[in-house]
């Protein structure tokens, strides 16, 4: 397991994008809110590893979308949903119906018809954009435990099971605000 600074990752981003695309690595990454566990959302093997690491076997994961265009191409977006998509990038997760179920591994959402999408207002979003692929993003903790805000509070079992960590210092934020746009009346999901 390798711990990288944000500068080291940015310097070698092309190399790490290649590893994410061709291998099945699982990694911890920063966002505009907290640290997440991530992987290529198209890679069944990597998504299954995230499920095992988090001990989260049924609930769906969200993804960092590579672009707003990717969201529009792969999700059902109603006219009124554009107001929320226009908030991206930002500390929001939008739950939308999928129109292209082949755009992610079925293990991401356990074959649900919906997906949570994010584009964090954070430099790490450029990794998904460079790949042109969605990345899993779920809080870096085991199911039901405290989320990671610094390397010191990262669960040692999680740390031992990831391939690399991109660390940029302590975070003082909360998880993203979730808007379920699949309902007739938009629902805000509190975590």
CA pair distance 140, 29, nearest whole angstrom: 9
Length of the chain: 191
Domains, the chain, in order of start with CATH, read 2-189 (3.90.870.10)
Tens-place pLDDT, residues 106-163: 999 987 899 999 999 999 999 999 999 999 999 998 888 888 888 998 999 999 999 9
Tens-place pLDDT, residues 58-87: 889 999 999 999 999 999 999 989 999 999
Say which residues have a Cβ less than 8 Å from residue 153's Cβ, sequence separation at least 6: 146
Token pair 């919906």 is found at 114
Per the structure block, which two tokens stand in for 165? 């960590």
- Provide the 3-class DSSP secondary structure of residue 95: strand
Using a cut of 0.85, tell me whether the model's pTM lies above it. yes
CA pair distance 73, 189, nearest whole angstrom: 25
H or E stretch at 170: none
CA pair distance 99, 83, nearest whole angstrom: 19
């Amino acid at each position: 397991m390798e711990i990288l600074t944000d500068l080291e990752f940015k310097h070698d981003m092309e190399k790490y994008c290649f590893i994410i695309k061709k291998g099945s690595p699982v990694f911890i990454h920063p966002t505009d809110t907290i640290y997440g566990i991530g992987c290529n959302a198209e890679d069944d093997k990597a998504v299954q590893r995230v499920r095992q690491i988090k001990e989260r076997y049924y609930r769906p994961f969200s993804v960092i979308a590579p672009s707003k265009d990717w969201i529009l191409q792969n999700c059902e977006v109603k006219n009124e949903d554009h107001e929320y998509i226009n908030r991206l990038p930002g500390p929001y997760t939008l739950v939308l119906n999928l129109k292209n179920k082949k755009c992610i591994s079925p293990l991401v959402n356990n074959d649900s018809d919906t997906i949570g999408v994010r584009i964090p207002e954070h430099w790490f979003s450029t990794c998904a954009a460079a790949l042109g692929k969605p990345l899993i993003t779920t809080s870096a903790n085991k199911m039901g435990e405290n989320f990671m805000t610094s390397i010191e509070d990262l669960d040692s079992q999680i740390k031992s099971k990831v391939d690399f960590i991109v660390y940029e210092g302590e975070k003082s934020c909360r998880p993203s605000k979730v808007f379920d746009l699949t309902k007739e009346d938009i629902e805000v999901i509190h975590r």
